[in-house]
C-alpha cells in the first residue's frame, strides 16, 4: 500500500458526511483508518492544510479530497473537520 492509499478510508468517510463541522477523537480516526496514527499526528501542523496543495502530505490530501479541512483541537484530544467553503463558526 502506498502512503496516499492508506488514508483512502478517511477520505471515503468524509465524503459520506453531510455535516458542515464535526469533531472526531484520535481513537475514532484510528478506527476509521484501521491503524494507529503516528506520534506526529498529535502536532497541529500534521492536520492543517498547506498553502500549496501540491506540497500537502497524504493525510491532508485525503481530507481535502473528502471535502473538508482539519485542525487539531487545542486540548489535543481530537480533530475538528470543517467542510470546505463553509464560514468558520468557532474560535481556534
Mean predicted lDDT score pLDDT of the chain: 87
50 vs 43, which has greater pLDDT?
A: 43
The CATH class of the 3-83 domain is mainly alpha
> Cell for 92?
481556534
Q: Summarize the confidence of residues 16-44 as an average pLDDT.
A: 95
78 falls in which pLDDT band (50, 70, 90)? very high
Domains of the chain, residue spans: 3-83
- Cell 483512502, residue located: 8
pLDDT tops 70 at residue 92? no
pLDDT above 70 for 53: no
Q: What is the DSSP string of 21-65?
A: EEEEEHHHHHHHHTSPPPGGGGSGGGTSPPSSGGG--HHHHHHHH
Whether 34 and 23 have beta carbons less than 8 Å apart is answered as: no
Residue in the block written with cell 471515503: 12
Q: pLDDT band at 48, cuts 50/70/90?
A: confident
Please check the confidence at residue 59 and state whether its pLDDT lies above 60.
yes
Query: Taking the model in full, what pTM does it have?
Result: 0.82
What φ, ψ does residue 79 adopt, rounded to 5°?
Answer: -135, 135
Q: What are the cell numbers at 56? A: 500537502
Amino acid at each position: 500500500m502506498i502512503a496516499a492509499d492508506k488514508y483512502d478510508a478517511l477520505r471515503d468517510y468524509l465524503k459520506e458526511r453531510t455535516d458542515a463541522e464535526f469533531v472526531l477523537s484520535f481513537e475514532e480516526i484510528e478506527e476509521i483508518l484501521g491503524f494507529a496514527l503516528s506520534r506526529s499526528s498529535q502536532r497541529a501542523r500534521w492536520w492543517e492544510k498547506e498553502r500549496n496543495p501540491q506540497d500537502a502530505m497524504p493525510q491532508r490530501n485525503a481530507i481535502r479530497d473528502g471535502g473538508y479541512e482539519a485542525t487539531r483541537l487545542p486540548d489535543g484530544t481530537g480533530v475538528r473537520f470543517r467542510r470546505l467553503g463553509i464560514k468558520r463558526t468557532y474560535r481556534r
